């Protein structure tokens, strides 16, 4: 008679594990704030900090030493305006941040490309009245992408969910000679309440409305496949599903159907839920981190963008 428990004994259990985590497939998001001089704690994300331009390179070097291969940069500019001008400024926070990291490390620098941290209204595109404009935003995205490339970024990750953004960015990069710059598209990005803590972290709350007009409806899974297919046709080299844990079904389908390098973003709310419960002693934090990351890997993620990349790398080898 088959007894499933035979393979669950210590040692054997580990040997037959189907899914293994490695820091090598993790990406650490970093918030860089050009107005601060010391790292600043993010209240809604216990254990996470905004970095200053002065502290950033040290943090990146530490991650590199720990074996984390890549960072995903978000910038907090000193000045915001209607059109997010600071986003493509060669002396802007992200452009400076890229150069600082590249001067000291070989870590892969992925840049989040979106207007929402740079616009005074906080939307991911230009606005007219209450409308977020799609086509008018595209040339700006191309300019921002080129400025990131000039500063030395390794991968451009557009997250604004504008239709045809990937094509606009690909064309702009190619025209400037950056034909080999990879694009990691936030292809299936849902209008999720789990981005809540990020709004504090990146100061990207919006002045009116919501993002439901451009981000996906959580009710839809088939639509995610359309989103991903369109982005691949437009030139995405890697695709992303975001958030991760509430959308593991989508992640599985995207990986199975397209076979593309696929990233999942374990977002701020996913982080803070576990961190907050752990602070209260309601969850074992390390075990919860490992189980959540394992579920994302098991569902098909080749890469996981997670606020725990550093923490995971520190304890790699321990279980
Ligand atoms: C910007 C952006 C957001 C996140 C990543 N890029 C916020 C949003 O779309 O509202 C969320 C990341 C997180 O919650 O960790 N477009």
194-205 per-position pLDDT tens digit: 999 999 898 888
Catalytic residue among 80, 242, 255, 310: 242
Residue 116, ligand 1, Cβ within 6 A = yes
Cβ proximity of 179 and 173 under 8 Å = yes
Instruction: Give me the residues paired with residue 310 across strands.
Output: none
Q: Integer distance in angstroms from the first to the last C-alpha of the chain?
A: 32
pLDDT tens, 300-318? 999 999 999 999 999 985 5
Catalytic residue among 80, 189, 255, 310: 189
CA of 15 to the centre of ligand 1 (A): 37
For the segment 11-39, the average pLDDT, to the nearest whole number, is 97
What is the pLDDT at residue 40? Answer: 97
Instruction: Give me the residues paired with residue 132 across strands.
Output: 127
Residue 195, ligand 1, Cβ within 6 A = yes
For the segment 278-298, the average pLDDT, to the nearest whole number, is 97
What is the pLDDT at residue 207? Answer: 79
Cβ proximity of 160 and 137 under 8 Å = yes
Q: What angle do CA 50, 52, 55 make, to 5 degrees?
A: 105
Instruction: Give me the residues paired with residue 28 across strands.
Output: 71
Q: Classify 80 as helix, strand or coil.
A: coil
What is the pLDDT at residue 209? Answer: 82
What is the pLDDT at residue 86? Answer: 96
Residue 124, ligand 1, Cβ within 6 A = yes
pLDDT tens, 56-101? 999 999 999 999 999 999 999 999 999 999 999 999 999 999 999 9
What is the pLDDT at residue 210? Answer: 86
For the segment 233-254, the average pLDDT, to the nearest whole number, is 98
d(CA 276, CA 283): 9
For the segment 130-137, the average pLDDT, to the nearest whole number, is 92
Residue 211, ligand 1, Cβ within 6 A = yes
State both tokens at 201.
């972290």
d(CA 310, CA 216): 30
What is the pLDDT at residue 208? Answer: 80
Would strands 40-41 and 49-51 be described as parallel, antiparallel, or unpaired? antiparallel
Closest CA to 214 of 141, 160, 165, 254: 160
Total Cβ atoms within 10 A of residue 183? 23
Q: Look at the block and give the residue holding tokens 């439901």.
A: 212
Q: What is the pTM of this model?
A: 0.96
What is the pLDDT at residue 273? Answer: 98
CA of 9 to the centre of ligand 1 (A): 42
User: Cβ neighbours of residue 287 under 8 Å, at least 6 residues apart?
Assistant: none
Q: Look at the block and give the residue holding tokens 């490992």.
A: 290
CA of 16 to the centre of ligand 1 (A): 36
For the segment 214-232, the average pLDDT, to the nearest whole number, is 97
d(CA 175, CA 109): 22
Q: At what angle do helices 248-258 and 285-298 cross, to 10 degrees?
A: 30
What is the pLDDT at residue 317? Answer: 52
Task: Specify whether 255 is catalytic.
Answer: no
Instruction: Tell me which residue has its CA closest to atom 5 in ligand 1.
Output: 159
Domains, the chain, ranges and CATH? 20-314 (3.20.20.70)
Burial environment of residue 317 by CB neighbours within 10 A (0 to 12, 13 to 18, 19 or more): exposed
What is the pLDDT at residue 196? Answer: 95
């Amino acid at each position: 008679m088959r007894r499933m428990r035979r393979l669950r004994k210590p040692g054997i259990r580990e040997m037959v594990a189907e899914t293994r985590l490695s820091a090598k497939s993790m990406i650490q998001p970093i918030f860089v704030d050009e107005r601060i001089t010391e790292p600043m704690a993010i209240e809604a994300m216990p254990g996470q900090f905004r970095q200053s331009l002065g502290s950033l390179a040290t943090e990146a070097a530490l991650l590199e030493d720990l074996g984390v291969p890549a960072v995903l940069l978000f910038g907090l500019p000193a000045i915001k305006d209607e059109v997010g001008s600071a986003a493509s400024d060669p002396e802007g926070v992200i452009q400076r941040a890229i150069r600082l990291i590249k001067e000291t490390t070989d870590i892969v620098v992925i840049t989040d490309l979106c207007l929402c941290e740079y616009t005074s209204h906080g939307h991911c595109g230009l606005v007219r009245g209450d409308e977020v404009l799609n086509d008018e935003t595209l040339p700006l995205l191309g300019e921002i992408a080129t400025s990131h490339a000039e500063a030395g970024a390794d991968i451009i990750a557009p997250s604004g969910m504008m239709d045809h953004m990937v094509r606009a960015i690909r064309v702009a990069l190619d025209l400037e000679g950056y034909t080999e710059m990879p694009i990691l598209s936030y292809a299936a990005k849902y209008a999720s309440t789990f981005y809540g803590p990020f709004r504090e972290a990146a100061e990207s709350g919006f002045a009116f409305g919501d993002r439901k007009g451009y981000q996906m409806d959580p009710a839809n899974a088939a639509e995610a496949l359309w989103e991903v297919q369109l982005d691949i046709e437009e030139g995405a080299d890697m695709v992303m599903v975001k958030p991760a844990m509430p959308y593991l079904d989508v992640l599985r389908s995207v990986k199975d159907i397209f076979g593309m390098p696929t990233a999942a973003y374990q977002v701020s709310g996913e982080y803070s839920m576990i961190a907050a419960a752990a602070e209260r002693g309601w969850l074992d934090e390390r075990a919860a981190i490992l189980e959540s990351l394992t579920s994302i890997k098991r569902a098909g993620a080749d890469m996981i963008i997670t606020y725990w990349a550093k923490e995971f790398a520190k304890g790699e080898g321990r279980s």
